[in-house]
């Protein structure tokens, strides 16, 4: 069924007419050309497609566009201000917390959502929040270190 929805994406109001069950990620990537959000599994199992919806991390591959009606969506493109990266982006760079980079957008958006809700998470809280994000390159130690750096306590850890 075709619907018309209005949502705010990275601060810009958008009105979209499309199939009500179309995945949010398709609107983000295809209609809005915001290709920083990546699709991995396409079925809610890897976290690569994570975006923030009203501040909460959602999986955009299993979020129907109709669920985003009236919501505020933020994607990875919203984070940097001009040439200034977000603190989480800076931390991922500083820790080298990416290899192929395919999971990185989802990791960063999930971490940003966590830190906005809880600016000083413990390791256990970080690990719990990131549990739904899979890195096929097995970069978990560096990813944890990056998030720890982003909250102001960089130090080496052996493993998640
Ligand atoms: S692409 Fe959405 S969870 Fe894997
Ligand atoms: S860096 Fe390759 S999947 Fe995480």
List domains and CATH numbers for the chain: 2-78 (3.10.20.30), 87-150 (1.10.150.120)
The pLDDT tens digits of the residues spanning 66-124 come to 999 999 999 999 999 999 999 999 999 999 999 999 999 999 999 999 999 999 999 99
Q: Is the CB of 98 under 6 A from ligand 2?
A: yes
Ligand 2 probe mutation, 102, 130, 138, 145, most atoms within 8 A of CB: 102
Instruction: Say whether pTM exceeds 0.85.
Output: yes
Helix (H, G, I), strand (E, B) or coil at 38: coil
Please give the distance, rounded to the nearest whole angstrom, from the Cα atom of residue 136 to the centre of ligand 2. Answer: 5
- As a whole number, the mean pLDDT across the chain is 95
Distances, alpha carbon 67 to alpha carbons 4, 5, 10, 121, in Å: 12, 9, 17, 29
Q: Which of 136, 145, 160 to mutate to test the pocket of ligand 2 (most atoms within 8 A of CB)?
A: 136
Nearest ligand 1 atom to the CA of 25 is 2
Confidence band of 159 (pLDDT split at 50, 70, 90): very low
| Tokens coding 57 | 């991390």
Q: Which of 40, 97, 101 to mutate to test the pocket of ligand 2 (most atoms within 8 A of CB)?
A: 101
Nearest ligand atom owner, CA of 46: 1
Q: Tell me the sheet residues that pair with 4.
A: 17
Measured between alpha carbons, how far is 143 from 128 in angstroms, rounded to an integer?
13
CB 68, CB 18: distance < 8 Å? no
Q: Which residue has the higher pLDDT, 46 or 153?
A: 46
Ligand 2 centre distance from Cα of residue 54 (Å): 26
């Amino acid at each position: 069924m075709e619907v018309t929805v209005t949502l705010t994406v990275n601060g810009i109001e958008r009105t979209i007419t499309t199939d009500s069950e179309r995945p949010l990620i398709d609107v983000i990537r295809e209609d809005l050309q915001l290709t920083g959000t990546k699709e991995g599994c396409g079925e809610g199992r890897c976290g690569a497609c994570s975006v923030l919806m009203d501040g909460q991390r959602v999986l955009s591959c299993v979020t129907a566009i109709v669920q985003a009606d009236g919501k505020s969506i933020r994607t990875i493109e919203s984070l940097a201000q001009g040439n200034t990266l977000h603190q989480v982006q800076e931390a991922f760079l500083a820790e080298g917390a990416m290899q192929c980079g395919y999971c990185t957008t989802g990791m960063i958006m999930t971490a940003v959502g966590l830190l906005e809700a809880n600016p000083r998470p413990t390791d256990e809280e970080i690990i719990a929040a990131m549990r739904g994000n899979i890195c096929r390159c097995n970069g978990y130690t560096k990813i944890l270190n990056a998030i720890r750096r982003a909250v102001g306590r960089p130090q080496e850890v052996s493993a998640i």
